[in-house]
Structure 1
């Protein structure tokens, strides 16, 4: 049995659900709260670019301020 990769000390990274030009999306589990989550993992080259990281964080903060049943909730970044 393989051990799940832990991301951010909190999220178990599961199977790949999809991917695009910027990132992969994985099924995950928040081990602190025991809930299923989706985890977006940036491409390594983009994750090393400080200007892209700042843009990504700003977009995540903006999305976290939205509350609608048709919009995915943002719980964490890092």
Structure 2
């Protein structure tokens, strides 16, 4: 039982660290990409808001996906 709890924590930590990396990547893309296409761009506040929503949803989906694969036999 304890080993299973440790595995759940490991999966949660893995999901969080992966999402932090992805969050930084998304923010950089939102800030750097628009000028290449002559677009106005996204404000820093707007980019932060989009990143937050994106990451929360993807964290939930990633964790569920990771657990489903772990539990698959």
**Hey, which of these two has a bigger chunk of strand by percent?**
1
TM-score normalised to structure 1 length: 0.28
Q: Name the one with the larger helix percent.
A: 2
Higher RCO, Cα 8 Å, sep 6+: 2
